[in-house]
Amino acid sequence: MEIRELKREEWPAQLLEIPQPPEKLWLRGSLPPAGHKLLAVVGSRAMTRYGQEACEKLITGLAGYPISIVSGLALGVDTCAHKAALAAGLHTLVLPGSGLGDTVLYPRSNRPFAKEILKAGGGFLSEYPPEESSRVYYFPERNRLMVGIADAVLVIEAGEKSGTLITARLASEYNRDLLCIPHRIGDPHAFGPHLFIRLGAALVTEPLHILEALRIPPRESGIGGVAPSDLEDTELVIWGMLEEPMTRDEILRSTSSRQAALGPGETLTALVALELRGLVREEFGAWRRI
């Protein structure tokens, strides 16, 4: 996909406001749609299972909202955030610590995934010339752009010596909302999130907290009882059943006993599809409309 230098008038407005704006910007793919809020997601490359589950859960819950997920394509939290965004149907924007050419994107192992992002309508943005290879000092430079372009920054996890701590501090300097997820006491990956929560960062345990920070009103429960017009037949059946909360077993029994009986696989696939779109969720053992 073509790499092009952005004209100044095409730049995201937020990047014109930071203390050290870039001299040039190159784009590959698409910028976030007009009106979208941008959430930068940062954290450790050595991501834990807990961090992965939290990242996926929070981003999945943003499906259907005008939000773009910003991160840096690194292994760990960055990759998880981009993948969760694609699974939820959200636009995602990559700011790598290199140029945007196929042969210089870092890490090398994520180059095939980079093509998936572009194919899904995402974008890559960099202040470095297209064939510029990554340098150690490019990553902290890149981080200022990631924070600068965002409306809020979400820290998944960060150890005591993590570079994520510098990125999180930039959020305060740039007047961006800083959001952190809590961890267990004593978890070394909790150092960064717990430090910043003590210093006033917003504690995040569910997607609603992110919507509040981005000043996006949540959809009314059940969207007024009107089913979205683009649901598949099976999804529509399950949507209709969830006028009242139901357990997974109740949903499976109900769909299998209907006149046009649905198999368990078909039912569960539709249920997951509705969840990824942010239309239903499981709470306290029961599935309900959001």
Whether residue 61 is found in the same domain as residue 126: yes
Cα separation, 207 vs 80, in Å, equals 16
Tell me the whole-structure pTM to 2 decimals.
0.76
Domain of 48, in residue numbers? 3-214
Domain end, chosen from 162, 189, 214, is at 214
Per-residue pLDDT of the chain (290 residues; tens, 9 = 90+): 799 999 999 999 999 989 889 999 999 999 999 999 999 999 988 899 999 999 999 999 998 899 999 999 999 999 999 999 999 999 999 999 999 999 999 999 999 999 999 999 999 999 999 999 989 888 889 999 999 999 999 999 988 878 888 888 899 899 999 999 999 988 999 999 999 999 999 999 999 999 999 999 887 554 445 677 778 888 888 888 888 888 988 888 888 776 557 888 888 998 988 888 878 888 778 888 87
Whether residue 246 is found in the same domain as residue 113: no
Sign of CA dihedral 203, 32, 30, 26: negative
Q: What is the CATH number of the domain that holds 248?
A: 1.10.10
Tokens of 121: 């309508």
Taking 3-state DSSP, the helix, strand and coil percentages for the chain, each rounded to the nearest 5, stand at 40, 15, 45
How many structural domains is the chain composed of? 2
Tokens of 206: 């569910």
Question: Is residue 148 within 8 Å of residue 22, measured between CB atoms?
Answer: no
